[in-house]
Amino acid sequence: MTSLRLVWVYPDLLSTYGDRGNALVLERRARLRGIPTEIIEVNSDQPVPLDGHIYLMGGGEDLPQTLATRRLLADGGLHEAVNRGAVLFAVCAGYQMLGMEFGGVDDVAIAGLGLLDMRSGRGEQRAVGEIVADVDPVLRVPKLTGFENHQGVTRLGPHAKPLARTTLGIGNGDGTEGAYAGRVLGTYLHGPALVRNPGLADLLLSWAVGQLPPLRPEAEALAQRLRDERLAAVTPQP
Amino acid sequence: MDNSNRTGGPPRLPMRAKIATTVGGAAATVSRLTGRDGSVIGGIVGLRLQPDLLSLLAQGRQIVLVTGTNGKTTTTRLITAALSALGQEIASNMYGANMEAGLTSALSRAPDAPLAVLETDEKYIPAMVRATRPRVVVLLNLSRDQMDRAAEIWLLARRWRDALAAAPDCRVVANADDPLVAWAASGARQVTWVAAGQRWREDSWCCPHCGAHLQRDGDDWSCRECPNRRPPVSWVLAGETVIDPSGRARPIELSLPGRANRSNAVVALAVADAFGVPVPNALRELRGVTSVAGRYTQVRRNGCELRLLLAKNPAGWLEALDVLAPPPVPVLLAVNAQGPDGRDTSWLWDVDYRRLRHRVVLVGGERKLDLAVRLEADGVPFRLVNDIDEAISAAGAPSLDVLANYTAFQQYRAVLGRTE
């Protein structure tokens, strides 16, 4: 690999809240390990390149979410890259898009990208707030901490696994949070979800480049402090 | 158009409304005496006694509603200043109480004012347009803001559009350079288009009408797939000057700093013009505004000259970073995430901090670690501080620019004293 290519899909439509953070965290953690990295931003009027290593999709309102889905289905590039083994990480609206269908404007069912075996619709109440979830132990990633802001309810089919089980917050709505299958992974933690979850960032990087050397502790210290602070802030004190 | 003689003052209020405003006014006085901000409480009490109090209070007055994601408070202040050239009393909610109770309170505190300039929360525009039947509605800009409690902005633009289309007597003064705002305003019968500029574009790459990626060339924009395009403008902000509809250019020369405030000033001039205030007279009033609800205030503390800047969301921070004094003046950045700030700090990742790389940066506020991790990713060196005095001593400089979001700003102001 000459350089690690991070493809940020449709920032013009899917970048509601700090989604750039995920690209920046992956870039930083790859570079700290000596892996040259480039971020490629692909707008909705451009073809999705096939040669990316990690594809990123962010959040969006109902209408942009529907438009982005329609264009990605017509373009086909993302599907081809995923079929070739690329990593795909999606948050919030992007996560819902990965499934077989989701609720669009006025909760009309919209056909999704079909990259994860799951279906989403609109719940009764909006889920807004801090979320904490224990990750599937197979993935060896510490518990997730983040912020969710969505009204989606997601049910997984037999070919997708829950990413985590919530201990705080709503997630998929049935006690699970997020989903993954192969190298496709999505979560309701919105915006810069990888900032407080460097373990998840490293999982994605390792899927793309293989085993990773550990970082120097001082390079991790600040993110770890933030992570500890946020977990402590939402964990009931004895 | 000169309509300045159209003011006859508000009619007399029905008895129940009169009691409601008196009781409300008394409540506000008590609230002020007991040290709480009296700007909302009177309105709440009054509205409970008379639910349509706002409509009654608005009757017979010429009302300007001012909304947008950023610049509402400042523009309300600037329009009020510009209209003061008319020599009539003006009701205004100058301290940012911008929902129904705040508007009600502002009108009941000035029962005889024939004019009112009212900052209005973005979400409340449809209801407030119906209740107050404004003569002018000002639409400044629309971008992402505290989305854990605010409405989604495409949805908001649609609601503005529907509300303004249903108010044919109202003139809309709108920023043509913001595609979402322009689309919302284009449903109105009468629009004054202002080229007020758009620094933050991350929420308007796509057509609000059909969703296609917009073609953008400088400030101009057009849709490739539908007829939606930037409307022809009659007022223009061109660098440091304003160009009026006759084509005459004048230097703006505000006391307030920054491009965003020049943009707000041009909007204020367009509103003043709709009320018949000549541009030179309005400009003179605008130049006299030196601080707005504590923003841009200079305060001296421990031998250091502090300047306070407020910004609440990515678009606001982008503009505020432009206003910072050049290096070597150190900067203190402070972020909280209380209810009024939005409890989610994700927006920090939408701001580009790289231009701070070569200056002294101090980081404070309740969520300083969130901001610190963000600066680390942008390669900006910084130092964490716990309060304003620690920042002053760490800065070790004769002056310090302070940029904070809402409650962090209020906390610093409380420490520094409420100087105007």
Question: For the segment B297-327, what is each residue's pLDDT rounded down to a tens digit?
Answer: 889 999 999 999 999 999 999 999 999 999 9
- pLDDT at position A211 is 94
Residues B251 and B339 in one domain: no
The CATH number of whichever domain residue B361 belongs to comes to 3.90.190.20
Indicate whether B292 belongs to any domain.
no
> What are the tens digits of pLDDT across the range B80-132?
999 999 999 999 997 778 998 999 999 999 999 999 999 999 999 999 999 99
Q: What is the pLDDT of residue B352?
A: 95
Chain B closest-CA separation from residue A176 CA (Å): 22
Q: Do B152 and A223 touch (CB under 8 A)?
A: no
For residue A25, which residues of chain B lie inside 8 Å, CB to CB? 377
Q: Work out the minimum CA distance from B213 to partner chain A, whole angstroms.
A: 6
Among B262, B287, B312, identify where a domain stops.
Answer: B287
B139 and B275, same domain (yes or no):
yes
The C-alpha of B48 sits at a distance from chain A's nearest C-alpha, in angstroms, of 28
Statement to judge: residues B282 and B307 lie in one domain: no
Q: Is B215 on the interface with A (CB under 8 A)?
A: no
The residue to which tokens 């995430």 are assigned? B337
Tell me which residue of B38, B40, B21, B27 sits closest to B97, measured CA to CA: B40
Tokens of B277: 């205030």
Cα separation, A17 vs A225, whole angstroms: 22
pLDDT tens, residue by residue, B154-169: 889 999 999 999 999 9
Per the annotation, the verdict on A150 as an active-site residue is no
- What gap in Å lies between CA A206 and CA A194, rounded to an integer? 14
Smallest Cβ distance to B349: which of A21, A222, A223? Answer: A21
The SS3 assignment for B178 reads coil
Residue A73 token pair: 């289905």
Determine the residue of chain B that is closest to A131 in CA distance: B344
In angstroms, the first-to-last Cα distance of chain B is 35
Please answer yes or no on whether A225 and B370 come within 8 Å at the CB atom.
no
Paired strand residues for A103: A109
Say yes or no: B77 and B207 in one domain.
yes
Same domain, B238 and B331: no
What pairing do the DSSP bridges indicate for beta strands A184-187 and A176-181? Answer: antiparallel
Strand blocks (E) in chain A: 4-9, 37-42, 54-57, 87-91, 101-103, 109-111, 118-135, 144-156, 161-168, 176-181, 184-187
- Of B287, B309, B336, the residue at which a domain comes to its end is B287
Answer yes or no: do B369 and A64 touch at CB < 8 A.
no
The interface predicted TM-score of the complex, written ipTM, equals: 0.96
In a shared domain, residues B316 and B267: no
Cβ–Cβ contact A45 with B under 8 A: yes
**Residue after which a domain boundary falls, among B232, B264, B287:** B287
**pLDDT at residue B7 tops 90:** no
Bond from prior residue into B398 cis (ω within 30 degrees of 0): no
pLDDT tens for A41-85 read 999 999 999 999 999 999 988 888 999 999 999 999 999 999 999
Q: Name the CA radius of gyration of chain A, rounded.
A: 17
- Domain count of the fold of chain A: 1
Catalytically annotated residue among A53, A92, A150, A159? A92
Q: Examine the domain organization and report whether B70 and B183 are in the same domain.
A: yes
Q: How many domains does chain B have?
A: 2
Give the closest of B206, B370, B372 to A13, CB-based. B206
CB-based contact, B226 to chain A, within 8 Å:
no
How crowded is residue B393: how many other Cβ atoms within 10 Å of its Cβ? 11
pLDDT band at B48 (very low <50, low <70, confident <90, very high): confident
Residue of A nearest to B378 (CA): A24
- Higher per-residue confidence, A124 vs A87: A87
Domain with residue A162: its CATH number is: 3.40.50.880
C-alpha–C-alpha distance, residues B345 and B146, integer Å: 9
Q: Are residues B248 and B333 in the same domain?
A: no
Decide if B293 is inside a domain: no
Report pTM.
0.88
pLDDT tens digits, residue range B250-306? 999 999 999 999 999 999 999 999 999 999 999 999 999 998 888 888 899 999 999
Range of the domain at A67: 4-234
Residue range of the domain that includes B364: 298-416
| Partner residue facing A20 (CB), from B144, B349, B369 | B349
- Look at B98 and B12; give whichever has higher pLDDT: B98
Report the DSSP beta bridge partners of residue A154: A120
With beta carbons under 8 A apart, name residues in chain B contacting A147. Answer: 148, 343-346
A190 belongs to the catalytic site: yes
Spatial distance between the Cα atoms of B171 and B138, rounded to a whole number of angstroms:
9
Query: In terms of Cα–Cα distance, which of B315, B325, B351 is closest to B196?
Result: B315
Q: Decide: A208 and A184 in contact? Cβ < 8 Å.
A: no
C-alpha A72/C-alpha A166 separation (Å) is 30
Q: What is the DSSP string of B336-384?
A: --SGGG-S--GGGGGS--GGGTTS-EEEESTTHHHHHHHHHHTT---EE
User: Both B164 and B188 in a single domain?
Assistant: yes
Q: Is B370 within 8 Å of chain A by CB?
A: yes
Cβ neighbors of B254 (< 8 A, separation 6 or more) are B261, B262, B265, B286, B287, B289
What CATH number is attached to the domain comprising B218? Answer: 3.40.1190.10
B308 and B215, same structural domain?
A: no
Q: Give residue B396's region: left, alpha or beta (phi > 0; psi -120 to 50).
A: left
Specify whether B283 is located in the same domain as B328.
Answer: no
**Residues B310, B274: one domain?**
no
Q: Which of A19, A61, A147 sits opposite B152 (nearest CB)?
A: A61
